[in-house]
Amino acid sequence: MKSLTEQFKVKSNTKFSLGDYDPAFSDGSKKEDAEGVLAGLIAETSKLQAQLYAANSYSLLIIFQAMDAAGKDGAIAHTMSGLNPQGCQVYSFKQPSSEDYDHDFLWRHYKALPERGRIGIHNRSHYENVLIVKVHPELVLKENNPDIKQVKDIGKKFWEQRYESIRNFEKHIHTNGTVVIKFFLNLSKQEQKERFLKRIDNPEKNWKFQASDISEREHWDEYMSAYEKAISETSTDESPWYVIPADKKWFTRIAISTIIRDTLKGLKLEFPVLPKEEMDKLQEAKQLLEKQ
């Protein structure tokens, strides 16, 4: 039986379709067992995080992308709970600022990369530039690209170059020690509808709902096409995409935590071993302390 990491990984240079992934899949797991399973995964990941921090050679960048109401915030909160906050950083990317538009589309994301030894989480990411921007190409005009004066100037070549820029960006940071894993939380349209209705009916969640959520929902098929293309073009052996079932939040969190743990395990991290001189000094310090 394939592990969850293998099941949800999109292999590079293979035919990929979102239609092959069931948003309600739960691998035979039971909801009542989820809390215990997740606690065990978090405990394992916490130990691996300590090794990552101590070794100070790799960093881990975790990217979350999804349609509205897919549960990104909850997934981040649950899967990263129990970790040392000193070794983690979370960035939630909103609309670009005027300063962002004065630079290339990767600029603000490069600035937010995690330092060595740390785990960085990007809630939305540079992929917005081939997702929402692809569904609403008029947003490209805000970038003041010298070759793009009007929407009709945005052709196939433009998008091919953008995917290539993303691949090169991720290859560069991988070569320099940043391990990248990318999660697409695969929510069904029906489940999104039900979650939107709950947000409207629950006063404590009204703030999460915006009128624009409905207008964006009308572009569902366009977004699915954009996600499918982006994932297909940019899932590489070094920086893979994982398509995670998102209709059952409890299973979503188990799947994400499993993949994060497995990724850290794959780095074969170890605590640094001190040179003999330093070890001798430790023993001297120990003897002094014991005499006090």
pLDDT in the model for residue 244 = 98
Give the whole-angstrom CA distance, residue 239 versus residue 259.
13
Report, as an integer, the average pLDDT of 272-280: 82
Could you tell me which residues are beta bridge partners of residue 292?
none
Of 12, 243, 226, residue with least CA distance to 130: 226
Report, as an integer, the average pLDDT of 253-259: 96
Lowest mean pLDDT among 83-97, 104-118, 164-178: 83-97
Q: Would you say residue 111 has pLDDT above 60?
A: yes
**Complete domains list, the chain, with CATH:** 4-291 (3.40.50.300)
pLDDT in the model for residue 1 = 55
Q: pLDDT of 204-231, one tens digit each?
A: 888 878 878 889 999 999 999 999 999 9
For residue 288, what pLDDT band results from cuts at 50, 70 and 90? confident
Q: Would you say residue 130 has pLDDT above 70?
A: yes
Q: Is the whole-model pTM more than 0.85?
A: yes
Strand locations in 38-177, DSSP E? 59-66, 88-92, 119-123
pLDDT in the model for residue 119 = 97
* Mean pLDDT rounded to a whole number for the chain: 94
Of 170, 95, 78, residue with least CA distance to 129: 95
Task: Provide the terminal-to-terminal Cα distance of the chain, rounded to the nearest Å.
Answer: 58
pLDDT in the model for residue 134 = 97
Give the whole-angstrom CA distance, residue 77 versus residue 74.
5
CB 128 within 8 A of CB 87: no
Structural tokens at position 278: 């330093």
CB 197 within 8 A of CB 75: no
Of 76, 91, 90, 89, residue with least CA distance to 118: 89
